[in-house]
Structure 1
Amino acid sequence: MPIWRKRKRSGRQFAPFDRARLPEPEPLTFEESYAEGLLVAESAARMALKNRIIVMALRGDEPFDADRAAAAAREVLHELVQEMDEVAEWSAHEREEATQREGRARHQHDYHRTDSWNLRLRERVNEAVAQRLTELRADPEYLADFAERARQDAWSEIADVIEQRLAREWPEIEIDDAYVRERDERMREVSLDLERELREVVRRREERDELDDTFGAW
């Protein structure tokens, strides 16, 4: 029968945690911030274009047209450029105001002198990303690829909604003369139902994006 011995407690004392002794995090470089900002901006623009393609597909009788999609892509990118220019101007204004404030911030948007460097970085990044998006708006090859990726995203979302609906409501269908006569009306009702469901999907996704606010950090 084993004999358990009580282990003696070590007399070693651990020092209390001192946050001040942690190494300072390396600040983001302009190149890193620019690369990430451009990636986030393109993702936001593609999502906006995808939503427009879904609406056009459900409301219009015309088939998908690459030229119209490219024109919509230019419009989406233009709106994003305007937004980023506004953020850059806001950052410049806040930086000027922050240089006059000392002390500690009371909340995340209460900028002080110590925040001047970050505000200047945000200003530069937004200006650079806006300039790059302006250049891409004039590139037909980029717009064609951008629109095609948004179209694929739109079709994937529509297909998901259709699959969910079929899995939920797939009936036993008897193909007869009445079924053929009423097919157009049923398809119209299905289209209306899909539009409502897709709008709800888009609404929920936009709410999640607002809560995450990834793009707002720039």
Structure 2
Amino acid sequence: MVVWRKGPKKPARPYVAPPEVELPPVSHAVEDGLLIAKSWASLEVKNWIVVRALRDGADYDPEATAAAVRAELDRMAAEQEGYAERVGEERQAAFQKRGNAKHQHDYRAGDLSALSRRRSVYAGLADALVDARNDDEFVAELAETARERAWEDIARALEANLDRVAAEPVVDESYRRARAQRLRWLRDIDLARLIEDHVADEKAARKAERSDKKSEKQRDKKSGPNPDAGASVNADPAGADPVDESAGKPVDRQAGRGAAR
């Protein structure tokens, strides 16, 4: 019976805490949020320009576009202020809570620092959006970016529409009168060409088939007849006496020769 014995326990390695990650300052997070908000505002204003041009047939108006940019910035600033207020309320509710969280939105006292930072980012981004809304140069740059993106979409739609219109024939009286001539061209030119191509393909296929058969016959001739074909099963290549199949005995060649004399 084999008895397994446990060896000596290896000494446990001392626990080494991971290095602390230094969070970037709140100002960096606000700058990143402002860049994202700028891109989103440009997209919203671009859609507004496209809808206004294609649906309403309105020309581009710089003042109306600048007003649309400011309205979008105001909307996003109010949204960030609402987020800051909500996080502040959640921080107050989490101040008296202890223990482990039950889900990701169950904030406890250990989350106060993260909630404070989050509230500062929301509030800072709201202030930055308000400042951008009052900056005429920022608004003009964002409006120009939205106009260029809108023109790219409109130009793409116009090109597709022109291609579709150019592909459709204009049906008028002369088009109807020329219908008989077009049908004759279809019969005498297009269909005749298709028939010629089909006949040429069939001839090429038959020629290839005959060539294959001819090559196969030539290979059979070069290989020659089978030397064992047609040989008698009772013939002896060494000159032995043949066997009389009816009697099952060998035939005497000398006796046969004397009888012939």
- Displacement, 1:155? 2.8
Higher mean C-alpha deviation, range 42-51 or range 66-75 = 42-51
- Residue 27 (structure 1) shift: 2.2
Deviations 1:75-134 (A, max 9, x none): 111111110110010111111111122222232222122221121112112212211211
Cα displacement (A) at 1:61? 2.1
Listed as ranges, the matches of 1:139-154 within 5 Å are: 139-154=135-150
Deviation at 1:173, TM superposition (A): 4.0
Matching residue of 2:29: 33
User: Which residue does the alignment assign to 2:130?
Assistant: 134
Amino acid corresponding to residue 59 of structure 1 in structure 2: R
Q: How does 1:10-159 map to 2 (within 5 A)?
A: 21-159=17-155
Distance 1:126 1:171, change over 3 A: same
The structure number with the bigger radius of gyration is 2
Letter in 1 for 2:167: E
Report the identity percentage: 36
Please give the alpha-carbon distance, in whole angstroms, between the structure 1 residues aligned to 2:100 and 2:86. 21
Q: Which amino acid aligns with 1:102?
A: R
Instruction: Please tell me the root mean square deviation across aligned C-alpha atoms, in Å.
Output: 3.2
Name the structure with the higher helix share.
1
TM-score calculated relative to the size of structure 1: 0.63
Q: Which amino acid aligns with 1:172?
A: A
**Alignment coverage as a number of residue pairs:** 162
Pick aligned residue for 2:167 from 172, 196, 218: 172
Change (3 A) 1:177 1:20: farther
Q: Which amino acid is the alignment partner of residue 22 of structure 2?
A: E
| Structure 2: gaps (5+ residues) | 1-11, 174-261
Cα distance in 2 for partners of 1:99, 1:134 equals 31
TM-score of the aligned structures, taking structure 2 as reference length:
0.53
- Secondary structure (helix, strand or coil) at the match of 1:102 reads coil
Q: CA deviation at 1:136?
A: 1.8
The one-letter code of the counterpart of 1:82 is A
Report how far residue 44 of structure 1 moved.
2.1
